[in-house]
C-alpha cells in the first residue's frame, strides 16, 4: 500500500502575515490526518518561518527549486541543496513546468538537480507533464517518457523509491481545467508501467502525485484512481480550508 502524499506549491505567493495565518490554519486542521504525508513548499524566504510555525505538526516543508551547484560559491541569487539541508527541509520541487517554460530549464539540468537532492537526502518532487499542443498532436507519451528518461539515466531507476513524481499536465495548471480522473489515471498508469519495465518493485512503491487545478470538489475522484497517490496543489494550497479539505480527501481514500 502506498501512503498518499499531498503537497502544496505556494509558488511566488505570500507575506510574513499571510504565511503565519496559513500555517496556523494548516496546523489546526491537519493534525488528525495520520494516513497521509503532507508538505508545503513556500517561497525560499518563508521556509524557516514555516518550519518554525509548523513545528509539532505532521506537515513537512519543502522548497521550490535549487541551484545546479551543490554547496556554495559565486552564484548570485541562487540557493543550494546544502542550504535546504541546513534549514532541515524535507522536499524540493524540481522540474516544475513553470521553471521549464519560463526559465528554460532542460531535462538535463533537472536530472542534475534531482541527483543533488538525492545525494543530500532530500526528497525530490520531480514534475513531468505535457502541453496541450503535445497532447493534441499525439506526442504526449514520448514527451513524458523523455522527461522521465533524463532522470532515469542520470540516477538509475532504483532511486525512484526515493523520488516523488508529480504528473502535471501544463494545460491544467492554474486554468481551472483539471484533467478528468480517467485522463489523469491513464498517464499515471503509463508512468508506472514505464518504470515497471525496468524495475517492478520500485514502480509499485513510487508515489505519483497529480497536479493541475486540484480543488476540494474534484480531489476525491482523482485520488480514488488506482495509480494516483495524492496531489501537488497550487492555488488551493493558499487557503487553509481548501488545502485541508484536499488532504482530507486523500486521508479518506487511504483509510477506506
Ligand atoms: P494549480 O493547482 O493552481 O493548478 O497549480 C498546480 C501546480 O502547478 C502545482 O505545482
Each domain of the chain, given as residue ranges in start order, spans 5-255
Ligand 1 mean position, distance from CA 235 (Å)? 6
State phi, psi for 171 to the nearest 5 degrees: -70, -10
Pocket test for ligand 1, best of 11, 126, 247 (most atoms within 8 A of CB): 11
Average of per-residue pLDDT across 130-144: 96
96 given a catalytic annotation: yes
pLDDT at position 113 is 98
Residue 64's pLDDT band (cuts 50, 70, 90): very high
Residue 237 above 90 pLDDT?
yes
Average of per-residue pLDDT across 65-76: 96
Tens digits of residue pLDDT in 74-126? 999 999 999 999 999 999 999 999 999 999 999 999 999 999 999 999 999 99
User: For ligand 1, is residue 121 a contact (CB within 6 Å)?
Assistant: no
Average of per-residue pLDDT across 125-142: 97
State phi, psi for 123 to the nearest 5 degrees: -75, 120
Helix and strand element counts for the chain (H, E): 11, 8
User: For ligand 1, is residue 64 a contact (CB within 6 Å)?
Assistant: no
Q: Which of 246, 9, 248, 242 is nearest to 125 (CA)?
A: 9
Average of per-residue pLDDT across 158-168: 98
Residue 49: burial class (beta carbons within 10 Å; 0-12, 13-18, 19+)? middle
**Looking at 53, 96, 105, 130, which residue is catalytic?**
96
The mean pLDDT value of the chain amounts to 97
Residue whose CA lies nearest to ligand 1 atom number 7: 234
Tens digits of residue pLDDT in 10-22? 999 999 999 999 9
Average of per-residue pLDDT across 115-139: 97
Tens digits of residue pLDDT in 11-58? 999 999 999 999 999 999 999 999 999 999 999 999 999 999 999 999
Ligand 1 mean position, distance from CA 173 (Å)? 5
CB distance 190 to 144 below 8 Å: yes
pLDDT at position 1 is 81
User: CA 256, CA 86: separation in Å to the nearest integer?
Assistant: 38
Grid cell listed for 177:
481545467
CATH class (in words) of the domain with range 5-255: alpha beta
User: CA 216, CA 233: separation in Å to the nearest integer?
Assistant: 11
Q: Residue 104: CB partners within 8 Å, gap ≥ 6?
A: none
User: CA 66, CA 81: separation in Å to the nearest integer?
Assistant: 6
Amino acid at each position: 500500500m502506498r501512503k498518499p502524499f499531498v503537497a502544496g506549491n505556494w509558488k511566488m505567493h505570500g507575506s510574513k502575515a499571510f504565511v503565519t495565518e496559513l500555517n496556523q490554519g494548516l496546523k489546526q486542521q491537519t493534525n488528525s490526518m495520520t494516513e497521509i504525508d503532507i508538505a508545503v513548499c513556500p517561497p525560499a524566504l518563508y521556509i524557516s518561518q514555516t518550519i518554525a510555525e509548523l513545528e509539532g505538526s505532521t506537515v513537512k516543508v519543502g522548497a521550490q527549486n535549487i541551484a545546479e551547484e551543490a554547496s556554495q560559491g559565486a552564484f548570485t541569487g541562487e540557493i543550494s541543496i546544502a542550504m535546504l539541508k541546513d534549514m532541515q527541509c524535507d522536499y524540493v520541487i524540481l522540474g516544475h513546468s513553470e521553471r521549464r517554460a519560463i526559465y528554460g530549464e532542460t531535462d538535463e539540468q533537472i536530472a542534475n538537480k534531482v541527483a543533488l537532492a538525492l545525494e543530500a537526502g532530500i526528497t525530490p518532487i520531480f514534475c513531468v507533464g505535457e502541453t496541450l499542443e503535445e497532447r493534441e498532436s499525439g506526442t504526449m507519451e514520448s514527451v513524458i517518457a523523455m522527461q522521465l528518461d533524463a532522470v532515469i539515466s542520470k540516477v538509475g531507476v532504483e532511486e525512484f523509491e526515493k523520488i516523488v513524481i508529480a504528473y502535471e499536465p501544463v494545460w491544467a495548471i492554474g486554468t481551472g481545467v483539471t484533467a478528468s480522473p480517467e485522463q489523469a489515471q491513464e498517464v499515471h498508469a503509463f508512468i508506472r508501467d514505464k518504470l515497471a519495465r525496468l524495475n517492478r518493485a520500485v514502480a509499485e512503491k513510487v508515489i505519483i502525485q497529480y497536479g493541475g487545478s486540484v480543488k476540494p470538489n474534484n480531489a476525491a475522484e482523482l485520488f480514488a484512481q488506482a495509480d494516483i497517490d495524492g496531489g501537488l496543489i497550487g492555488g488551493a494550497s493558499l487557503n487553509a480550508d481548501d488545502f485541508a479539505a484536499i488532504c482530507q480527501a486523500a486521508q479518506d481514500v487511504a483509510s477506506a
